[in-house]
Amino acid sequence: MEKSLIENVFESEIKEIFQLKECDAGMYSPLVLAYIGDAVYELIIRTIIVNRGNCPVNQMHKKSSSLVKAPAQAEFITLLMEELTEEEQAIYKRGRNAKSATSAKNATIQDYRMATGFEALIGYLYLKGNKERLVELVLHALQKKGVLKIDEV
């Protein structure tokens, strides 16, 4: 309870200091949702990697890169599809089907689009303020992939 209070205070202070307005996450384009979702997901992954212990930054980068690259995200969303609500599936599909001006350097078009859908879902949940669900989905994906064991959380 205390932690969520601290988190809420932190978020409200950021909103106040930077004069951020309330937003309707559903009104953003899927590529905008993917843009913010990419950053949120990478921050979660980097936080997990850093928490595992101090090691050379290049090793941390390799570990985190293996989890944030498009093929890994495509695999994660495949593992999660059964768990998604209809609304979450719709957001994922909007992101997956969005026409992007860029393409992945080291991924198939299918993996890149699936990863974009995954990131759009993460961004949507983040902007909607549903961080519990966001963390739940990322945790389940990492556990199903075998990256995190239950006792490590």
Nearest to 112 by CA among 138, 74, 145, 146: 74
Q: Scanning the structure block, which residue is given the tokens 């001006």?
A: 101
Angle in degrees, CA 59, 103, 35, rounded to 5:
70
Do the Cβ atoms of 100 and 31 come closer than 8 Å? yes
Do the Cβ atoms of 36 and 125 come closer than 8 Å? no
- Please say if 111 is a catalytic residue: no
The one catalytic residue among 24, 38, 111, 151? 38
**Residue 47: both structure tokens together:** 């936080």
C-alpha to C-alpha distance for 44 and 15, rounded to whole angstroms: 21
Query: Which residues are known to be catalytic?
Result: 38
